[in-house]
């Protein structure tokens, strides 16, 4: 098991390093000059050169990359070009909002997906099956940038039940969490249905029924517990996406998280903040997937044995 974990950490290191280098190069190659944005188009060339030298943007790009990587190895994320604040403190302020949104969205997705998936599998071919899969297909088809405004229009502007945007108490969390959770619930529900259909035809399920166990016990205790194994992988991947900031949803609802910070930094060409946000997103995604692999290997030893061989 230890060798399995080490191999996963080793591969994750190169994935994160590749993401860092790629993002650094892409950000510096896209059009737009942070100096021009800060000083305006009417600034004198001498002032622009002085500010560019002060920010280190006049150095060759490979030297800038080396300086950035050297700072990362000393856990120094740098300073924001515009606010002149340490980026670490900016991220510390934004991470709780994104984590809160991601975890609540995950809870909503599980509450919706598990009953839908079980109902569709147990009632295969019935109206309940078609209704459950229709609801999941609808949730999967509607993009966040459309679902968010629709929820705002109906529940905020027409019914006045929830705040339109911002982070102000528990009620302001519900609509963005629903926007994220419904799409994730659609994926989980379809996965639970497909795995449940396979397991419900296994011999040990027939044996449990032959022993006289109720259908509820057979489905929940025997079938569902085994059906959740492949769902863990999907859950880990989706949680990594949620922890990545859910940029679109946070922008729609003006949710003060990592996603909103990323968009603001891109608009202002605040290179260090963009790089730090992408680094955090990639790290969270990789860490969640490593944890998923470890849990999966702990549940099913065949995975780590096959990987070690």
Assigned domain for 139 exists: yes
Pick the closest to residue 291 from 239, 241, 242 (CA basis): 239
Per-residue exposure over 43-71, b if at least 16 CB sit within 10 Å of its own CB, e if not:
eeeeebeebbeebebeeeeeebbeebeee
Q: Residue 174 has what pLDDT?
A: 92
Q: Residue 241 has what pLDDT?
A: 66
Q: Residue 204 has what pLDDT?
A: 82
For residue 249, the domain's CATH number is: 1.10.3720.10
In this structure, the number of other CB atoms found within 10 A of the CB of residue 102 comes to: 27
Structural domain of 190:
89-308
Same domain for 46 and 15, yes or no, is yes
Domain boundary at 47, 73, 99, which? 73
Assigned domain for 158 exists: yes
- pLDDT less than 50: residues of the chain: 305
Same domain for 15 and 62, yes or no, is yes
For the chain, the domain total comes to 2
Place of tokens 């991601």: 102
Q: Residue 154 has what pLDDT?
A: 93
Q: Residue 14 has what pLDDT?
A: 85
For residues 101 and 156, what is the distance between their CA atoms, to the nearest angstrom? 18
Model pTM?
0.80
Same domain for 172 and 145, yes or no, is yes
């Amino acid at each position: 098991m230890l060798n399995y974990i080490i191999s996963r950490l080793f591969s994750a290191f190169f994935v994160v390093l590749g993401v860092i280098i790629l993002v650094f190069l892409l950000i510096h190659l896209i059009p737009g000059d942070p100096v021009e944005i800060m000083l305006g188009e009417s600034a004198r060339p001498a002032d622009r050169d002085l500010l560019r030298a002060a920010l280190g943007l006049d150095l060759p790009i490979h030297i800038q990359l080396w300086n950035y990587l050297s700072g990362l190895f000393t856990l120094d994320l740098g300073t924001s070009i515009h606010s002149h604040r340490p980026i670490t403190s900016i991220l510390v302020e934004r991470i709780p909002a994104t984590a809160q949104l991601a975890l609540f969205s995950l809870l909503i997705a599980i509450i919706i997906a598990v009953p839908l998936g079980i109902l569709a599998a147990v009632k295969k071919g019935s109206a309940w099956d078609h209704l459950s899969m229709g609801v999941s297909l609808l949730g999967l088809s509607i993009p966040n940038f459309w679902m968010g405004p629709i929820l705002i229009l109906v529940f905020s502007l027409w019914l006045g039940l929830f705040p339109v945007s911002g982070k102000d108490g528990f009620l302001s969390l519900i609509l963005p969490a629903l926007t994220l959770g419904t799409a994730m619930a659609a994926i989980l529900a379809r996965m639970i249905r497909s795995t449940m259909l396979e397991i419900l035809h296994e011999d040990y399920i027939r044996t449990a029924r032959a022993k006289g166990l109720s259908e509820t016990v057979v489905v929940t205790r025997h079938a569902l517990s085994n059906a959740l194994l492949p769902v863990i992988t999907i859950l880990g991947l989706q949680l990594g996406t949620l922890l990545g900031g859910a940029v679109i949803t946070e922008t729609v609802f003006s949710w003060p998280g990592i996603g909103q910070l990323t968009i603001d930094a891109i608009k202002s060409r605040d290179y260090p903040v963009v790089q730090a946000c992408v680094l955090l997103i990639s790290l969270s995604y990789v860490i969640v997937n490593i944890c998923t692999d470890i849990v999966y290997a702990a549940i099913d030893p065949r995975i780590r044995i096959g990987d070690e061989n």
